[in-house]
């Protein structure tokens, strides 16, 4: 009986030991699981107060989602800004290239205009030289006036020649006036009568009274007064007889035609 009791006591002690060991093992496992984010109910078995981690995990997920959304927005903004910046840069480059193209075209246009002006000036100069040479040749064929004779002989000769030239015109019969004025002023007696033909068809189309020579804005009361004033004006402002340079001065707009026409008429007297 004593031995039986002892045996039972040993068995009970073993049972208690096994139970304690089991409790310790379960408690250790539960504590480990709680530490690793396990079930809170297991941890409470051992009287531990553990706060649930689920809200914190959910908050972390929300924060992660918010951060991801922010990053996405930032990427979108950066991408949009990069696109705008690139577009603006391209437009600036294109504008600069267009400005450079227009400037180059304008420079080329100005250079071409300058070249055309220089070419026209060279051609004008060449034509003028040719006309000058032709004028010199034409003047060489104009007979000289004989100034070696006396006054009466001079006036008589040129009165007859000028009257023949002016016959049938408003200036007819004014040969003596032209010849006398020429002698007194030392001017070629053919010059003034010939100009009257070039400017007014020998007095037929005067723009002012008795002004047959297109002489400024002058008008006179008679042909005698007008002839004497014109011949004296030629002597004072031009010289002895017609030249190409005098033609330029007398009729700048159309001096070449004026010279040739007037010279041709002088040869007829």
Q: Mind giving me the DSSP string for 168-187?
A: TSTTTT-HHHHHHHHHHHT-
Q: How many angstroms separate the CA atoms of 241 and 53, rounded?
A: 127
Helices assigned H by DSSP within 36-53: 40-44
pLDDT of 133: 81
pLDDT of 70: 62
DSSP 6-61: HHHHHHHHHHHHHHHHHHHHHHHHHHHHHHTT--HHHHHTTT-----SHHHHHHHH
pLDDT of 6: 45
pLDDT of 106: 95
Per-residue pLDDT of the chain (269 residues; tens, 9 = 90+): 444 444 444 544 444 454 544 554 445 444 444 444 444 444 444 444 444 444 454 545 556 556 566 666 666 655 655 556 677 788 889 899 999 999 999 999 999 999 999 999 998 888 778 878 888 888 889 999 999 999 999 999 999 999 999 999 999 999 999 999 999 999 999 999 999 999 999 999 999 999 999 999 999 999 999 999 999 999 999 999 999 999 999 999 999 999 999 999 999 99
pTM: 0.59
Which tokens sit at 55? Answer: 């809200």
């Amino acid at each position: 009986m004593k031995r039986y009791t002892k045996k039972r006591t040993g068995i009970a002690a073993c049972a208690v030991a096994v139970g304690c060991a089991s409790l310790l093992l379960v408690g250790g496992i539960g504590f480990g699981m709680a530490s690793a984010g396990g079930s809170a109910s297991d941890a409470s078995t051992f009287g531990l107060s553990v706060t649930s981690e689920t809200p914190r995990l959910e908050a972390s997920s929300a924060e992660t989602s918010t951060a991801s959304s922010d990053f996405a927005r930032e990427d979108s903004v950066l991408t949009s800004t990069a696109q705008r910046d690139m577009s603006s840069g391209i437009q600036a480059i294109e504008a600069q290239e267009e400005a450079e193209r227009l400037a180059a075209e304008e420079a080329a246009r100005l250079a071409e205009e300058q070249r055309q002006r220089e070419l026209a000036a060279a051609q004008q100069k060449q034509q003028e030289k040719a006309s000058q040479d032709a004028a010199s040749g034409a003047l060489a064929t104009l007979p000289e006036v004989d100034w070696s004779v006396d006054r009466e002989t001079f006036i008589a000769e040129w009165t007859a020649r000028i009257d023949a030239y002016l016959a049938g015109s408003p200036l007819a019969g004014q040969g003596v006036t032209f010849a006398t004025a020429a002698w007194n002023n030392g001017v070629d007696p053919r010059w003034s009568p010939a100009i009257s033909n070039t400017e007014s068809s020998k007095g037929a189309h005067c723009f002012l009274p008795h002004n047959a020579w297109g002489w400024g804005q002058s008008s006179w009361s008679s042909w005698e007064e007008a002839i004497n004033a014109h011949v004296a004006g030629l002597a004072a402002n031009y010289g002895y007889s017609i030249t190409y340079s005098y033609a330029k001065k007398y009729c700048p707009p159309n001096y070449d035609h004026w010279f040739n026409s007037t010279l041709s008429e002088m040869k007829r007297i």
